[in-house]
A = this chain, B = another copy of it.
């Protein structure tokens, strides 16, 4: 219990905009009412625009992004299928672990945490897979643990170059609706996201984009599934209903969230994320700290994973921020624990929040014993924001 706002800078769940929060504060309703479909059907259309797919299906499962990972796998693959995955952070690691639990034969390319998807190596492996034994290729678009964005288009390119027929699975949990995601253009077959990141809602919906190719494959895929079954979901969704009780408050939140995204304009949303992220990165640099991401091209516009100086433990920084400054930063996960803290700068975010994040990070670092020049990060970000085109800041549809 502390005074003032709790400053939330974790990379999800993200800050819920007021209008979304208002929209979710509804009484319960009959999910079989005659006019329910009038409300739900446009949600599917809106999500398609967010995924940039016109051909694919979108589905919302009550659950988390992890559930959507599972749905993608169990609906389209068969037990023992060979799949190509890579690991460059905790979330790509967990997806590999899940694939193994579900009985897939995983070819896992390990690269350093801080690198992106090893698409060249993928190309080599796929090129060597003359008999198309690899049934699916997995990419974690934005590795939330490392603050790394990967080049999905490049993976598609190497797949195409060797005429490989595998399905392309993309984890877009912390990218969709915040950075550009082009499901159709990139030939993504299974795109996975959740409600609690760029869609600016609480957790509770696992969301999938599914290509027609993946839909076709799902008809014969023999992995056991029921709750996450595509067929039931898609058939009943077609009429605007759900095979089991949906969390209707989240659907109302999604309506408000899609409206916000459309009013700002998706491309403006992406530009805003890029601008705010760049401000944060300049701030981090001015503090004298390094990102986990190994190369500027890999630095995520939705989350920055920041290495603390050797003299401090990142966990202590997080504890001080939480207990003394009423602020939550993302922790370093698994092997990055103690070495890294993260600033989520996605979803409902603006210049003031970026400056707050930097100001509080500096303060928490110094209180934890780090030699960080107070104010330097904020100054660098401010300078960047000050020179920026002002018009970029305004939403499109005012």
Contacts and interface: CB of A to CB of B under 8 A. Distances in A.
B101 A352 contact: no
B2 A393 contact: yes
A12 interface: yes
Nearest to A286: B375
A70 interface: yes
Instruction: Tell me the number of copies of this protein.
Output: 4
A33 B355 contact: no
A246 interface: yes
A64 B25 contact: no
A125 interface: no
Nearest to A7: B352
Interface residues of A, number: 112
Contact of A16 (B27, B196, B373): B27
A99 to B, nearest CB: 8
Contact of A67 (B17, B62, B325): B62
A382 B355 contact: no
A18 B8 contact: no
B350 A355 contact: no
B386 A382 contact: no
A26 B30 contact: no
Contacts of A70: 226-227
Given A3-B264, A4-B349, A34 B224 contact: no
A63 B62 contact: yes
A15 B28 contact: yes
B348 A325 contact: no
Nearest to A223: B224
Given A14-B28, A26-B18, A331-B32, A226 B102 contact: yes
Contacts of A379: 373-376, 378-379
Interface string A346-376: 0011111101100110110011000001111
Interface of A: 1-8, 10, 12-18, 21-34, 61-67, 69-70, 74, 79, 97-98, 101-103, 194, 196, 202-204, 223-229, 243-250, 260, 263-264, 269, 272, 319-320, 322-328, 331, 348-353, 355-356, 359-360, 362-363, 366-367, 373-376, 378-380, 382-383, 385-386, 390, 393-395, 397-398
Given A5-B348, A62-B204, A101-B226, 6 more contacts: A33-B328, A70-B226, A101-B224, A352-B356, A375-B383, A378-B379
